[in-house]
Amino acid sequence: MENTVKLSIVMPVFNEKNTIHEILKQVRATPYEKEIVIVDDFSTDGTREILKGMEDDSDLNILYHPENRGKGAALSTGFKEVSGDIVIVQDADLEYNPSEYGQLIKPILEGNADVVFGSRFLGGPRRVLYFWHTVGNRALTLLSNMMTDLNLTDMETCYKVYRREVLEKIDIKSRRFGVEPEVTAKIARLGVSLYEIPISYNGRKYSEGKKIGWKDGVNAFFTIIRFRFFD
């Protein structure tokens, strides 16, 4: 089945002119039939102009937001365009390695999983960076687990992989990084089979373009509560 499965790679992009060429090179190097759906969330650093120069590439479906709406909104836009059997979320910042697609989709190909999360905390190599980011991530994952009765180690991971049929049942409402706890809550409600796979992580410093901050952590906290009790 691996030779016949089609992947849809959904890539939200915001101000990634320094990495967009390299991440596309890495994604294209993966040995699968695939489509790459890029959603530019109103980049202002020249990324949008780079993407406009790629519009004739047959493997790319490039979409543009007329204003900055956030990662959740970009994913919602991209998910509506997918046609593959398996959908993978891929950030454009080189923190996550496309060469690991094989291990991420394996539980789905084997019929064991409907959704797979790539965990940065299950033993894969990772760049050593911010202590309080790790504390915050683990605290949000713990709260999410308490609300969903899951035992995830990394709810906030970018690498979330779906059978397309499952993704079609999820209506995303969050605009920014609250999308991660929202989709986790909705996956839990669906009762589908969820796996975690260890992945590597090459995190960025803020000086290198990292965008998520403490305000997003606060928003994630309230998103977890919202989708447990009020939505």
Give pLDDT tens digits for 97-151.
999 999 999 999 999 999 999 999 998 777 777 788 788 889 999 999 999 999 9
The span from the CA of 140 to the CA of 131, in Å, is: 14
Residue 66 lies in a domain: yes
Average pLDDT over residues 207-225: 75
* Choice between 209 and 160, residue whose per-residue pLDDT is larger: 160
Strands of the 115-119 sheet, one edge to the other: 60-64, 33-40, 6-13, 86-89, 160-163, 115-119, 194-198
Average pLDDT over residues 181-204: 94
Residue 226 lies in a domain: yes
* Domain region containing 209: 6-230
Cβ atoms of 59 and 32 within 8 Å: the answer is no
Tokens of 127: 């760049």
Position of tokens 């398996």? 86
How many Å is the maximal CA-CA distance in the chain? 47
Q: Is the pLDDT of residue 93 over 90?
A: yes
pLDDT at 176: 80
Cβ atoms of 157 and 95 within 8 Å: the answer is no
Nearest to 89 by CA among 19, 7, 17: 7
The span from the CA of 144 to the CA of 122, in Å, is: 18
Q: pTM here?
A: 0.92
Average pLDDT over residues 4-26: 97
Q: What is the CATH number of the domain that holds 48?
A: 3.90.550.10
pLDDT at 223: 85
Q: Is the pLDDT of residue 227 over 70?
A: yes
pLDDT at 136: 85
Residue 74 lies in a domain: yes
Residue 226, Cβ neighbours under 10 Å: how many? Answer: 17
pLDDT at 177: 77
> What are the C-alpha distances in Å from 75 to residues 31, 118, 158, 178, 179?
24, 17, 11, 12, 9
Q: Is the pLDDT of residue 43 over 60?
A: yes
pLDDT at 94: 96
The span from the CA of 129 to the CA of 208, in Å, is: 12
The span from the CA of 82 to the CA of 166, in Å, is: 13
The total number of structural domains in the chain stands at 1
Residue 1 lies in a domain: no
One-character DSSP codes across 23-54 = HHHHHHTSSSEEEEEEEE----SSHHHHHHTT
